[in-house]
Chain A
């Protein structure tokens, strides 16, 4: 008799190990749960709420909820998808996400998750916040218009690069990404193009300078297959780096 521990995700048995979250176990089993702030290389964060699932009648973030036997997890009902769409729509209107002109279009996790959840419009009134582009670094530009405050760059710079280049300041709607340098500009920071913090950005906020649109339409990350099949931007970047090595 098997001693494997399992929970149910959309009726399927998902095996898990002690210490796993719902997200860990689901991804290992090849089941996609939409997410933005989650990256398996970093500790769970639970801030974007896009991975919301219904667990025995309660709505929880899959990336932070420990897996447990007997859980019944709804990952795909219209009710859950609608909540995710609402969260994504709020993300779209809080920043300035202009997909038609964005060089990350077709390879952006925010856009890909929005397509996956069948989001058709931003629905809410746009905030149109006044944000700038910091291109003071010779190799890297940061477009604050597109930042979704996932804190992946914060975590990567702190935990992997050991540089603490990024941080979030302010509260609630005033929250924003800031740069740890004397001038507050990227150019004076310790960031370098090979830093982990540069490759983990799921959207078009942190970008290499002087290039863009170099992938033809049709060859971009999410042009041909959905994110549930392709996976995250960061893992694609990892694969690219390994291939280059």
Chain B
């Protein structure tokens, strides 16, 4: 991977004390709290660039001791943007625990409907609310205008479509799970409700409009992409492996499938891997400067095995979409790569909107499927001690792994969330942008926004990426009313705890 050599050099500067430190804090228009630190020498050369996550959660620890049947509802509280992903990944893990090797057609289709609804709303939120200001107005537009209010003022129709697409997705979630955010629809072995005829009629009213607006959104991003083709193809572009779930027949599938990984040239690294064996294929590395872990493909090692997940990986990796409009768009997307995977970081947006179109089409298909009004909601078998659920969250592959004891109490949990999977890649992308556009320049807000644009393309959810506890380094500062640091406890990667003030 050629660009890795260049960008990885910027992970750690040789002489950090002699360098000027520039901090972008907080990162704006992303989910959760994060920051970027840059170190620049006297010649304005960038010597170090790192993405940090500045919050701490601890879900893996505090769900220990809780009953397994609580997991789908409890763990979704990791996030308010794509809680359905955690809800469904945990539900799939608890399906395994209760021995439900197969769901009823009704249960599986309702869960898929819920997931399409959430992917639609999450992607719409990301593109229209968070990223369209950069893409419509330019990365160097006045910061007071470069936001969703600016979009509402200048392009009210686009803003309206974004808001209403998101609303529609939220309504699909409400109808399948009881609430727009943090519902309870999926339970171990199935779902707790079906979709009534009245609810189907309600959702059918607007679905054609949603499909049409989704197509408009794909057309919009293509226009933006091709207007500045060379720039979009090179901005923050890194050559990476890509990982996603894939259906048995190679179709795009965000709910269930095997793991497929391809290298930067599009060659298969592994394919249709049973995701319950993810531990044989993926490991998580730790770095002493980040709360977020660094997963990698075991066979390639930590230096070469990092990968990207999410829309870019999914659209590059899949063989086809099952819905016609999205498939037509996928073919155009793939053709642009001329036989190679598209590695452009900004192509995430393009791939994301193709997924929006697929979700809208797939919702329509499911609304016409009588199974979603069925009454067989649950399957149960023999209780198992291990539960592993993997799903494609809007931001990428999401792993939930639980071990329970004989009483049904969670003893161990491991969550590898989408944004964690993209950790190394996001760091590589900001280093690329730093070396492409910031190196040698006096830094301005507009230049620093380019770093944020690269991070935003991944749609990171920084809140759920810092769920872990245990090996992660941690620093607790005690600050008095005068804002003076009076005590500091540090926990190192080794687990050693020390007082440093």
Which A positions have Cβ atoms within 8 angstroms of B?
100-101, 103, 132-133, 135-136, 141, 187, 209-219
Tell me the nearest residue of chain A to B176, going by C-beta: A216
Contact between chains at B184 and A135 (CB < 8 Å)? no
Q: Determine the distance from Cα of A103 to Cα of B179 in the docked complex, in whole angstroms.
A: 15
Q: Determine the distance from Cα of A218 to Cα of B67 in the docked complex, in whole angstroms.
A: 24
B484, CB-defined interface residue at 8 Å: no
Contact between chains at B179 and A212 (CB < 8 Å)? no
- Supplied contacts A209-B67, A213-B69, 14 more A-B pairs, CB within 8 Å: A103-B73, A135-B67, A135-B407, A209-B408, A210-B98, A210-B383, A210-B408, A212-B69, A212-B70, A215-B192, A216-B185, A216-B193, A217-B178, A217-B183
Q: Determine the distance from Cα of A209 to Cα of B67 in the docked complex, in whole angstroms.
A: 8
Tell me the nearest residue of chain B to A216, going by C-beta: B193
Q: Tell me which residues across on chain A come within 8 A of B73, comparing CB atoms.
A: 101, 103, 212-213
Q: Tell me which residues across on chain A come within 8 A of B193, comparing CB atoms.
A: 216, 219
Q: Tell me which residues across on chain B come within 8 A of A217, comparing CB atoms.
A: 177-179, 183-184
* Number of A-B contacts defined by CB within 8 Å: 58
The secondary-structure label for the interface of chain B is loop
Q: Tell me which residues across on chain A come within 8 A of B185, comparing CB atoms.
A: 216
Q: Determine the distance from Cα of A85 to Cα of B27 in the docked complex, in whole angstroms.
A: 41
Contact between chains at A212 and B187 (CB < 8 Å)? yes
B409, CB-defined interface residue at 8 Å: yes
Report, nearest first, the 10 A-B pairs whose CB atoms are least far apart. Answer: A217-B178, A135-B407, A216-B193, A213-B184, A101-B74, A212-B69, A216-B192, A213-B187, A216-B178, A135-B409
Q: Determine the distance from Cα of A217 to Cα of B179 in the docked complex, in whole angstroms.
A: 7
Contact between chains at A103 and B70 (CB < 8 Å)? yes
B72-105 at interface with A (beta carbon < 8 Å): 72-74, 77, 98
Tell me the nearest residue of chain A to B410, going by C-beta: A133
Q: Tell me which residues across on chain B come within 8 A of A209, comparing CB atoms.
A: 67, 69, 408
**Smallest Cβ distance from B178 to chain A, in angstroms?**
3
Q: Tell me which residues across on chain B come within 8 A of A215, comparing CB atoms.
A: 192
Q: Tell me which residues across on chain A come within 8 A of B178, comparing CB atoms.
A: 216-218
Q: Determine the distance from Cα of A210 to Cα of B448 in the docked complex, in whole angstroms.
A: 51
**Smallest Cβ distance from A111 to chain B, in angstroms?**
15
Q: Tell me which residues across on chain A come within 8 A of B146, comparing CB atoms.
A: none
Q: Tell me which residues across on chain A come within 8 A of B65, comparing CB atoms.
A: 132-133
Q: Determine the distance from Cα of A216 to Cα of B183 in the docked complex, in whole angstroms.
A: 9
Q: A103-B70, A218-B178 are in contact. Are A135 and B77 (CB under 8 A)?
A: no
